A and B are shown apart, each in its own frame.
Chain A
């Protein structure tokens, strides 16, 4: 699933932009923004984010999908 960005935690450091394999992240108003069309849902941004501002939701049950 597409990662979710917590705009309060995001410091706009741009680390995720550098690490994103499909170049799906850009900066919008000093916060990271993920283009859902390009995102491969690899989760590298979430693992890389120094402030834990990015989380990748995990489908908890068939009802949540």
Chain B
């Protein structure tokens, strides 16, 4: 409590008091049904958020129109009919029962809507930059009047369902934002022109909703503080500030500041954006308005919002991703258990899942969407009847996660790591790019969990089959990581592994070919480009570069490589090697690449492991990269799922 007095001080929005300054921000999940009805899974997820201790819990955006033009996600919640009220009321109930204020967000997705249709609706027809979204159709004046009414009716239903507050959304390309932005609003009628005219739809919605719900229900709005669309004629920051002032004037009781559109060409929420980076926008906006200002965006550590609230940059700290990763973050901060917080690593797996029409998942919290399923142990595991001796080899994310879950269930767990420190591949991955060090937070938390759960941690000890035998292990888990694939035959120059590259980049020659353009190869390329003057060729056999890399990161990595004139060859195979020259066949013809060294960035599951250990324990499992080299989320999920059933 003392460490963060501002975060845990009471707050006020409109006529309501909040117990602290934390607001769980609206987050789409795809947990509701395709017809817009709330599912048990969504209620359980929202209950977990409310139990975690924020002062305000916001629902995911609910679309207000029966046509589905506002629907932007396959499993988006709906509020266009009274039949949705009972389901919505279940969410309001679980929030109230946990002593938090409930806030329902009404969201018409506009430029990103019409997920089940063949068009989307927006202010003017501006072709999509992201091919994923539907071709736009211009909204008519009649339809504008209807959408205002839809919002008002939605607010009425939200109040009936028992919500304490209403939130509107005009960000990233959603309907209201397409009117506010000069990039998308080319209208000649009273809804287009200067910033005041472009804000007319927003004003009509705010005023209409306020008039409907009365003074006792606060109405807030999320707006874009900085569109990052300068390259396409978007709003200036002055115009954005003006939109906040106009919203306040129209009666908004709080203002949530957001950054960027989904089609902005500047990174906004990835790890390379320093934590707290965007607070300057909120600071500027707060100078011009009197109602409370809230903000999310890369505030992953409580020290950042604590300072921002203290110095008047924000009034409330909003969180989406950090609380997907750990809904109990508020209570853990309050109780001084910060080292137990499961840290969001901004991998954006959750985000990308939405665009695959899948329910969200989280790399670092496998229990997302399973909060009420006892076997997943979100609220704690029941103890096993027969305590087993479990030996785990490898203290990377898979081994640590498996150890922690198995120990929580009551098993006697010993973990062995041949390195002096835990982390496995994360030790390398955490050095690739700006912000990559945040990946180590996962390892640190898992290590703390293991210690708290009573796992015996042995670092700097290579665990042989004989040792496993002697320990009378009932279960052996091999989580020892992958091995580097064999380099191409015939190259007479030096060959390096990723580990060697990252340990001593200065010792590398300057002309390098990286074999393998998946996540590891790209990671090495990015690391080298950022740490020296290398001329790099990436050789990838499949047709797609970095197919296992999240799109949020892939575009930045590809841009970095292109800017530094790296040669990227996809669909490429090495046909021949003569001394220091590679002959590479590509779909565009053969290339000759002169190099001074090769980096092997392809990994494979070690073939001999199972045979080596086969007699050491009656029950043997292989997880993580040792099973098949994949991503961090697979390692953690492998570990968790195995830990659940040992």
What are the residues of chain A within 8 A of B123 when measuring CB–CB?
none
The chain A residue sitting closest to B359, CB to CB, is: A41
The reply on A52 being an interface residue by CB < 8 A is: no
Min Cβ gap B633→A in Å is 8
- Take A21-B631, A22-B634 as given contacts and tell me if A42 and B37 are in contact as well, using a CB distance cutoff of 8 Å: no
**Among A4-12, A28-36, A53-61, the stretch in contact with B:** A53-61
The reply on A46 being an interface residue by CB < 8 A is: yes
The reply on A40 being an interface residue by CB < 8 A is: yes
Are A60 and B34 closer than 8 Å at their CB atoms? yes
Are A62 and B358 closer than 8 Å at their CB atoms? no
The reply on B249 being an interface residue by CB < 8 A is: no
What are the residues of chain B within 8 A of A18 when measuring CB–CB?
542
The chain B residue sitting closest to A19, CB to CB, is: B547
- Take A21-B634, A22-B634, A23-B628 as given contacts and tell me if A58 and B357 are in contact as well, using a CB distance cutoff of 8 Å: yes
The reply on B406 being an interface residue by CB < 8 A is: no
- Take A18-B542, A60-B35 as given contacts and tell me if A46 and B634 are in contact as well, using a CB distance cutoff of 8 Å: no
Min Cβ gap B368→A in Å is 13
In Å, the complex CA distance between A5 and B624 comes to: 27
What are the residues of chain B within 8 A of A48 when measuring CB–CB?
547
In Å, the complex CA distance between A58 and B34 comes to: 7
Min Cβ gap A3→B in Å is 10
Are B35 and A61 closer than 8 Å at their CB atoms? yes
What are the residues of chain A within 8 A of B542 when measuring CB–CB?
18
In Å, the complex CA distance between A33 and B637 comes to: 22
Are B33 and A43 closer than 8 Å at their CB atoms? no
What are the residues of chain A within 8 A of B35 when measuring CB–CB?
60-61
Which of A22, A44, A60, A64 contacts B356 (CB under 8 A)?
A44
The chain A residue sitting closest to B356, CB to CB, is: A43
Interface residues of A, count at CB 8 A: 20
In Å, the complex CA distance between A19 and B627 comes to: 15
What are the residues of chain B within 8 A of A64 when measuring CB–CB?
33
The reply on B455 being an interface residue by CB < 8 A is: no
What are the residues of chain B within 8 A of A19 when measuring CB–CB?
547-548
In Å, the complex CA distance between A44 and B630 comes to: 13
What are the residues of chain A within 8 A of B75 when measuring CB–CB?
58-59
Which of A44, A47, A62 contacts B39 (CB under 8 A)?
A62
- Take A23-B628, A58-B75 as given contacts and tell me if A47 and B356 are in contact as well, using a CB distance cutoff of 8 Å: yes
In Å, the complex CA distance between A21 and B548 comes to: 9
The chain A residue sitting closest to B30, CB to CB, is: A58
What are the residues of chain B within 8 A of A43 when measuring CB–CB?
353, 356-358
Q: Write out, one digit per residue, whether chain B residues 612-646 have a CB within 8 A of any chain A CB (1) or not (0).
A: 00000000000000011011001001100000000
The reply on B71 being an interface residue by CB < 8 A is: no
Are A42 and B628 closer than 8 Å at their CB atoms? no
- Take A21-B630, A42-B361 as given contacts and tell me if A58 and B74 are in contact as well, using a CB distance cutoff of 8 Å: yes
Are B637 and A40 closer than 8 Å at their CB atoms? yes
The chain A residue sitting closest to B35, CB to CB, is: A61
Which of A22, A42, A60 contacts B358 (CB under 8 A)?
A42
The chain B residue sitting closest to A55, CB to CB, is: B357
Min Cβ gap B639→A in Å is 13
Are B357 and A56 closer than 8 Å at their CB atoms? yes
Are B358 and A41 closer than 8 Å at their CB atoms? yes
What are the residues of chain A within 8 A of B37 when measuring CB–CB?
61-62
New contact pairs (5) apart from A42-B353, A42-B358, CB-CB < 8 Å: A21-B631, A21-B634, A23-B628, A44-B356, A61-B34
By a beta-carbon cutoff of 8 Å, the part of chain B in contact with chain A is 30, 33-35, 37, 39, 74-75, 353, 356-358, 361, 542, 547-548, 627-628, 630-631, 634, 637-638
Q: Can you offer 22 A-B residue contacts whose CB atoms are under 8 A?
A: A18-B542, A21-B631, A22-B638, A40-B637, A41-B358, A42-B353, A42-B356, A43-B358, A46-B356, A56-B356, A56-B357, A56-B358, A58-B30, A58-B34, A58-B357, A59-B33, A59-B34, A60-B34, A61-B35, A62-B33, A62-B37, A64-B33
Closest A-B pairs by Cβ, 10 of them: A60-B34, A43-B356, A43-B358, A61-B35, A21-B634, A58-B34, A61-B33, A58-B74, A47-B356, A21-B630
